Structure formats: structure tokens, C-alpha cells
Amino acid sequence: MSASVPGFSAVIASKIDRSVQLRRSEIQGDVLIGLQKDVEFFIFFRIEDADAFKRVVRDHLADLVTTTEAVRSRELQIAAAKEAGDLERLPFVGFNLGFTHQGLGALVGEGGADGMDPSFMAGAAARAADLNDPAGQDGTLAWKPGFADGGIDGVFLLTGPLDCKDAVHPLLVEKRDDVLALAGGSISIVHEETGRVRPERGHEHFGFRDGISNPGVRGLTPNQNPADGDQGAPGQDLLWPGEFVFGYPVQDPEKPFTEPGDPPGLPQAWMRDGSYMVFRRLKQLVPEFDAFLDERGEALGLDPALLGARMVGRWKSGAPVMIAPLQDEPAIGGAPLLNNDFEFGSDPHQRRCPYAAHIRKTYPRDDLARLIPNGEGVVQTHRIMRAGIPFGPEVTEAEAESGTSAAERGLLFVCYQTSIVEQFEFIQKDWSNAPGFLFDQTRPGSDEAVEPGHDPIIGQASGAREMDEPVPNYPFGSRRSTLAMPNPFVVPDAAAYFFMPSIFALRTALSEPGPATVTASAERKGRAEART
């Protein structure tokens, strides 16, 4: 197998944009490519002894981190093995780590983490209300332990394969035990989550193929579209890496998206080659969603599968409704060179894809090109790199029959960016949650304004949600329809914002000897007092 890697690697390398050079051995591996994962352990911890923990980071954990260089090498080995007909899963184990703002305070001291992203510094719990995350009448977040009260300083990510019996591979269990043994009493575990791929690999719990529309990264993603050198796979625009990792050119909203913007200044020098990670535990009410499709589909005269496709913007196979507006085309859905090759600008009146469909809300592609100057370039400044994994069991027959969830399942959502405010939060607040987006739309042949409604999958509102035109008018219909969604299908019940430092930062600025002047526990106390 190894003999075939160099030739394959050379082919890939020849198709990569060399105008920017990534320091791949410094960037954590989950950020740009994603750690190889059948199973992922999320271990959320509190720093109990900052000096001891810094020694562990400097002397041990920094050396264990799986880098982007390592992940790329593994990807090439996997591709070469498949090309050689070897379908056995390679036992790769990954390890990354990140810190909340208060966790960084425990490591670098007072002022050492100032000037960072405002939402990161505030913390996910403080930002929840602005995102319309559900809370009780008293405003209390019904989140998993440690998340709402600011009790988390950091997270370990450990990833690995399943064994031949679909159990967690012993190498991953061993790696977890090793990391925790090294950390010892310097930390305490606050909460743990385990993600695992579903039997229908690549599909989330609602059944839809996921992860199709992640952007490509210049300097890393090879060009696979002979018709467009600025794309990876067809439809996958190549973005400047500074959107996801600090210290590189970024997307400039004043320029075409193909032209680089200057790397922004770093509030702290040790942020170079690091990235912000957003974590959200998203419960998916799958039996309720399926029952809703059956009931509302019948009321609207739609097949439930078509209604679901209109809400998501894709069929469960992954085929986009922009290409397959009325019936699924699984051959397209499963083809990486076909299933993302479309734009929305050719559908100005939502005949193929509703304005509110999940994939149109969260990534409107060229929709804004006809509405604002450099609209497509602006859209590309609000992208994220997703790296989540499902959690929880499959739906049981009893749950399916009752239309009610008896067990928790969903998505351990993870995304990376260099601005939580302008990337993750912007997508959630200004696009998914905003019923008026896509703005300034009218009905065909009239001046009647259209309110697209909420993203039916992740859009959040303080009251009821609605979606315009669930019933397709493709190709020339004029039926007006509205889909009322009184209850959410996705419910966040934990969230945290982390910074994923470079290997150099872990070995130096974040682990220098000497006590920090601000401890994580002191910052937690200050935040608790501020909330009361």
C-alpha cells in the first residue's frame, strides 16, 4: 500500500493552489480537514492545577496532537488503499485539544487573552439568548452540566475507528486512558459526550446526507473541477485559509471571492495557526420530524419525502432540489462531483428550492449577487468549516409508531472559523433565524413582497416558525402555500466556544512556567456574579 502513496500524492499536490503556504504541522488536524472518525470522544474538563497542567501540555500533550499534516498523510494512505482495492479501515487515532476563554486565562494570566473574538470572550452561555436558544421562563438554560454555569475550561477531542465488530476500537480507548492519565489531578472531568457514525454512514439522524457543502481551502484542497480552477470539487469554492485559521489571507467583502484580503492583525501573537471551535449538542427529534412530514405532507398534497427535501434543500440521498426539484436522483446525491454543483441565482423565485430551505439559508451561494454589490464575495465571508458527528441510538420501531422520542439522539455540532461573530453566529442569527432573509424578494410578475420564513431545520424563534412555499411551483405554477412549524425539530442543550491553539503555542506561550494571575475558577466566579 505504501508504495502507491507517493504517486497518488504527487497527483493531488499538482492540483493544489500554491499561492498560499499552510503551516500544516502547526495547525490542529480537525480544523481544516477533520480528524478521521468513526467514533469521537469529547471530554470537557476544568483546570484544577494550572501549573501542573501546563507542564503536562508542554511535556506531553503538545506532542500527542494530531496535526493537519498528519491528517493529510492519513487521507492519502486511505485513498491509496481504496485505489488498491483494500477496503479494511485503517486504525488511525486522533487527538486535539482546545480551551475556553477562561481556560486560556488560567494558562496565560490577566490580559494574556484580551482582544479576542467578543463572543468567544463572553462564552456560549452568554450568547445563547441572542441566538434564540430555548430557555425556561426564568431565562435559565436547560443545558447539560457545566455548560450553562461556565464550568468548562477546555476540551479533549479523541477520534478513532470502529473495530470489526462495530465496537469502539481498543486503540482509541487506550489513547483516551493515556491522555487522562497524563493529565491526572491537574484537571477534573465536567462532562463527556460520545459521537458515532450511523449505520447509514455519512447521513445524520433525520436521514439526510451531511457534510456535502463544506468549503475548500486554498493551499490544501485540490482542484477537481476542470471548468473552474477556483473550486475543489464542482461547486466547492476555494476560500482563503484565514477564514478558518489565523495568520493567513482572508476573504475580502470588497473584492471578488477569488482575490485575497490581507491577514488581519492578531490580538495575541500566539493565536497564529489557531482557530475558534464552536461546539453545540443538538438534539434531533426524529420521530416527531417524520410524523410532521407525514401529517403536513398529506394536508398539502405532497409526498413526505418531497416535503422533507423542500425543507432541507436536498433529498435524503444528497441530491439537491436545485438539480432534482420533484423527485430524488440518488445517483447524483452520492456523487461528490455532482451533488454540490449548483448555484441559487438561476432560481430567483424559489421554484426549485425554497428561500427558507436549510441549505439556502445557511449558504445562499450567489443569491446575494443580484441584491448587493459583490454579493457572492460577501457570502464567502460568512462560511464555516463543519466537523460534527451524530450521537445517540437509531430510532426504534416503538418511537417511529408513536411519533415521540424516547431516547436522545442528534448531532454533536462542531465548526471552525476565525470569527464566531461573523461566521457561526451570523449564519444562525442573520440568516437561519431571520424570517426576512433572503431579503427583498417578490412574487413572479408582481411587486408582492415575500417573507421566506425561518430555516425549518435549525432556525430558532421566540414564537412559532413558518416557511414560505413548501409546495413547489416548478416549473411555472402559482400556488401560494405556507408551512407552520409550531415546534422545533432541533433543540440545543449544550454549547461552548473554544480556541484550538497551534502546536507552537501549546509548547510555548500557553505552557510557560509560573502561576497565572487570573485563575479559571476566579473568572468563573466573576461571571456567575455578573449573571446574578
Q: Pick the closest to residue 194 from 139, 156, 243, 240 (CA basis).
A: 156
Note the pLDDT tens digit of each residue in 182-194: 999 999 999 999 9
Task: Provide the 10 A C-beta neighbour count for residue 260.
Answer: 19
Note the pLDDT tens digit of each residue in 284-314: 999 999 999 999 999 999 999 999 999 999 9
Helices (H), 269-351: 286-300, 304-312, 330-333
Task: Provide the 10 A C-beta neighbour count for residue 186.
Answer: 18
Note the pLDDT tens digit of each residue in 346-376: 999 999 999 999 999 999 999 999 999 999 9
Average of per-residue pLDDT across 92-116: 97
Q: Pick the closest to residue 379 from 310, 346, 323, 426 (CA basis).
A: 426
Residue 498 confidence (pLDDT): 99
pTM for this one? 0.95
d(CA 416, CA 172): 23
Structural contact between residues 387 and 278, judged by C-beta atoms closer than 8 angstroms = no
Note the pLDDT tens digit of each residue in 19-78: 899 999 999 999 999 999 999 999 999 999 999 999 999 999 999 999 999 999 999 999
Residue 518 confidence (pLDDT): 44
Note the pLDDT tens digit of each residue in 126-172: 999 999 999 987 889 989 989 999 899 999 999 999 998 889 999 99
Note the pLDDT tens digit of each residue in 221-254: 999 999 999 999 999 999 999 999 999 999 999 9
Q: Which residues pair with 485 in a beta bridge?
A: 465
Catalytic residue among 117, 210, 328, 347: 210
Q: How far is CA 237 from the centre of its chain?
A: 17
Residue 9 confidence (pLDDT): 58
Residue 165 confidence (pLDDT): 85
- Is 210 one of the catalytic residues? yes
Structural contact between residues 330 and 319, judged by C-beta atoms closer than 8 angstroms = yes
